[in-house]
Structure 1
Amino acid sequence: MSYINKNLQTNETIEYKANIHWFIFVMPIIGLAFGYIFYSTKTSLTHYTGLIILILSSFQLLKRLLFKISTEYVITNKRVILKSGILSRDALELMVSKCEGLRINQSIIGRIFGFGSILVTTGGVTNTFRFVANPIKFRNEINRQI
């Protein structure tokens, strides 16, 4: 059972659950491809450079996989909840009625592939939800709950 389902309040229902976009895996996979190309060459300098790139890209891929597995972005009828972490947990719960401002940041690549960051402002504090798939729908769901 997920953190969100365990911590729902009385009469609270999940209205929308955002997904982490698959684009977070693109750079590590490109790094693995380049690392393999360099690693498979005959010269020792490019061979060891490729090995280093393969190791670093593998760590980045693992880190991003754990991020995708451990992160939940949820809007309920009462709260906006961000939870991340497997061994250690970082949970942020915002009352929907206290959300003052919403901002969407999307790069050109983010607009093409359909992901972005959402910044929610409450009482002068800004909270960021990163790599949200379809951030417009996430924003619309927050606005609908307000």
Structure 2
Amino acid sequence: MDQEINRIIEDKEKIKWQGVINRNAMIFTLVFSLVIIAIIAGIFLALGTFDYTSNGVAKQGNGLLIGIVILVLGLAVISWNYFLAMVTEYAVTNKRVIVKSGIIGTDFKSIYFDQIQEVLVDVGLIGKLFKVGTIKIDTGKTKTYSTGGKSRRVKTKIMYTLLKHIDKPYDVYKIVQGCLSSRKESLYSGRADRESQS
């Protein structure tokens, strides 16, 4: 068990599952992102200077400068995300789901089972390639945003907490669902205060 996660475990709280982002999926995402950034930056670097029109005025752009900026910013973002993924850990206890993250300091996010509205499993292309999946936890948190220009529309997006690219996602899903079911049973039977003993 990770010692930092162990420090925040309460009395009578038991770890049911613990895991990290699959390293092969992480490296694939890193390499794929680097290739995309290199292609985009390479296009601008190859252009040198180029002509374009802005508000009817002819202008010249510096492809070399744009390419270097894309390359530097892209590498910075990709590196940050990679190292963030390296230190991210997950745990499911009989009370909550824990997400440990943070490069500079250690951050913990706890989602207690009474906050969870829905749990989903998402297996995309990376999941198919590396036999991993992402657990999506809906706690009812949403984000509202607008799209379009003249015909603006307001949309709402569910803000899931993600356990990204984990091994055996369906097994983890069953563990979370089992804990949720135990929580509901203890609430209905008036034993919610003793759920930590299960």
The verdict on a shared fold, with TM-score over 0.5 as the criterion, is yes
Q: Is the 8 A contact 2:42 2:67 kept in 1?
A: yes
Query: Could you list the runs of 5+ residues in structure 1 that have no partner in the other structure?
Result: none
Per-residue CA shift, 1:50-107, capped at 9, x if unaligned?
A: 4333212311222112321332221123321123323466532123466442112333
Q: Secondary structure at the match of 1:131?
A: strand
The whole-number CA distance in structure 1 between the counterparts of 2:17 and 2:129 is: 23
Tell me the residue number matched to 2:20. Answer: 19
The whole-number CA distance in structure 1 between the counterparts of 2:43 and 2:90 is: 38
CA deviation after TM superposition for structure 1 residue 118, in Å: 2.1
Q: Secondary structure at the match of 1:83?
A: strand
Tell me the residue number matched to 1:52. Answer: 69
2:33 alignment partner, one of 28, 31, 45: 28
- TM-score, with normalisation over the residues of structure 2? 0.55
CA deviation after TM superposition for structure 1 residue 32, in Å: 5.4
CA distance 1:82–1:144, shift in 2 (3 Å): same
Aligned residues: 144
- TM-score, with normalisation over the residues of structure 1? 0.69
Q: Is the 8 A contact 1:99 1:120 kept in 2?
A: yes
Q: Is the 8 A contact 1:79 1:96 kept in 2?
A: yes
Tell me the residue number matched to 2:120. Answer: 103
Q: Is 2:129 the counterpart of 1:129? A: no
Per-residue CA shift, 1:17-74, capped at 9, x if unaligned?
A: 2322414423332145437866986x74565454333212311222112321332221
- Name the Cα RMSD after superposition: 3.3
CA distance 1:56–1:63, shift in 2 (3 Å): same
CA deviation after TM superposition for structure 1 residue 129, in Å: 0.8
Q: Is the 8 A contact 2:45 2:68 kept in 1?
A: no
Query: Could you list the runs of 5+ residues in structure 2 that have no partner in the other structure?
Result: 50-62, 142-158, 181-198
Q: Flag the structure with larger Rg.
A: 2
The whole-number CA distance in structure 1 between the counterparts of 2:82 and 2:126 is: 20
CA deviation after TM superposition for structure 1 residue 10, in Å: 1.5
Q: Secondary structure at the match of 1:110?
A: helix
The whole-number CA distance in structure 1 between the counterparts of 2:163 and 2:31 is: 15
The whole-number CA distance in structure 1 between the counterparts of 2:30 and 2:73 is: 14
